A and B are shown apart, each in its own frame.
Chain A
Amino acid sequence: MTFAATLKNTLAKDLRLEWRSKDAINSMLFFALLVVVIFSFSFELTAEESRTLVGGLLWVALLFATVMALNQTWARELRNNVLDAYRIAPAPLESLFVAKTIGNFIFVSLLELVIAPLFVMFYNLRSLGPTYQLVLVSVLGNWALVVNGTFFGAISIRTRSREVLLPLLLFPISIPALLAAVSATTTILTGEGSAYLSLVFLAVYDVVFTTVGLVLFETVLQAE
């Protein structure tokens, strides 16, 4: 099968599975909702304070929630030894990686669509900067989390206590992306200065780690 066909089939299969089971999306949504509520209980913020803090809170909530989806991407393929079948199939393995990443990207984007209004509601948020840039930040930041997460999910599936290990591997690597995303979000919300540099940084991060992931994915999946 060609790259595009494998990608399309795998992605369609993942979306269909998720549509029927709603495992990842439900657990992510409920978890993120809990984080939002607990944060808003823990800090009583004025509208001014919330502008400077919400960037951080939002991305931490997203990072934790993303791990829930990521843990299920590869665990799903262990049943009936599907992963082994992938290994011996004459299809390009990179397309599997891209399909999984896009799938996770869609799940986390849905999560963002639900979580963002909640943040606005609970924290009385009103952006002082160019709001449309927030969309760009969420897309780039989301991809950064998901592309690394999908890759490290494929690594952590090969270890003991895999659910525990994934965040331990993913969080250190994600720190620069998280910093840039938080800095961009805060800059836009407070309207002080331009988020241009952070956005470029995130874009470069995405390109570099997507490339590294593509190059190393087959090696990792075939590792014995």
Chain B
Amino acid sequence: MKSKFAIFALITFALLTWGLYEAMIGAPTEATMGPVQRIFYYHVPCAWVMLLCFPANFLASIAYLVKRNAILDAFAVSTAEVGVVFCTIVLLTGPIWGKPVWGIWWTWDARLTSTLVLWLIYVSYLILRKFSIGGPNPVLAASLAIFGCIDAVFVFGAIRWFRTQHPQPVFGSGPNSGIDPRMLHAFFINMAAFTAFGILLVWLRFVLERTRQKVEEAHAMKALRATR
């Protein structure tokens, strides 16, 4: 298990290094936006990891309520925490790009607002886990996660009425959607690198949570034996 983790970590860091090189040196500078466009190689992959984490948390939460298996709860908390971290990065890198390109740090458009609300919901999920009496209460947390995920659908719907300023998808919008192949190359390497990085973090957090659960269980068993 440990060696598998070490190998995966090595691959991840190699990919991240390669991705950094391609994003900073390999890819050409964008004609109109200039160097600031390079943040896109981080912004989009982080958003992607976030979009993997939150649905995973939703599914794990439902599965937990059905099966009541502590492993599923450990998975739910790992994905939620890693999701919040990547969501934070998305929310921070966005304005850094937005200020020079759009001329504003923030706008209440559909995707920005949905991401922010998603962040708020999952932070409240983590707060609930922190504040439950007698350690994290997985049932309460899972219920909140289900509410949160259904709510995310409504959030997106509610904000769609407003005009959206976020750049439309660049890929697949026609044969001449015009992106330099070297940019595409850098982009996909970073997508792979950050996906691996996300999985690595979830893995690490999962092992940590399982250890915590086992320690807690052992304490409970000890207390039980002492009372007998």
Contact = CB atoms under 8 A, between A and B. Distances in A.
* Dominant secondary structure at the B interface: helix
A128 interface: no
A37 B194 CA distance: 51
A155 B155 contact: no
Interface in B85-143: 117, 120-121, 123-124, 127-128, 131-133, 137, 139-140, 143
Interface residues of A, number: 31
Interface in B139-184: 139-140, 143-144, 146-148, 150-151, 154-155, 157-159, 161
A159 B148 CA distance: 19
A159 B143 contact: no
Contacts of A155: 128, 140, 143-144
Nearest to A169: B124
B157 A176 contact: yes
A180 to B, nearest CB: 6
A165 B131 CA distance: 8
A161 B161 contact: no
B154 A205 contact: yes
B150 A176 contact: no
A1 interface: no
A209 B147 CA distance: 8
A159 B133 contact: yes
Given A172-B124, A212-B146, A160 B151 contact: no
A74 to B, nearest CB: 13
A161 B132 CA distance: 9
Interface residues of B, number: 27
Contact of B120 (A172, A197, A219): A172
Interface string A139-183: 000000000100110010011110001001101110111011001
A160 B131 contact: yes
Contacts of A212: 146-147, 150
B136 to A, nearest CB: 10
Given A155-B128, A155-B140, A158-B140, A176 B121 contact: no
B124 A168 contact: yes
Contacts of A173: 121, 124, 147-148, 151
B65 interface: yes
A217 to B, nearest CB: 9
B128 to A, nearest CB: 6
A17 interface: no
A219 B148 contact: no
Contacts of A183: 161
B140 A220 contact: yes
B139 A219 contact: yes
Interface in A165-216: 165, 168-169, 171-173, 175-177, 179-180, 183, 197, 201, 205, 208-209, 212, 216
Q: Which 4 A-B pairs have the closest CB atoms?
A: A223-B139, A176-B154, A172-B120, A176-B158
Given A183-B161, A216-B65, 10 more contacts: A155-B128, A159-B140, A165-B127, A169-B124, A173-B148, A175-B158, A176-B154, A201-B157, A216-B147, A223-B137
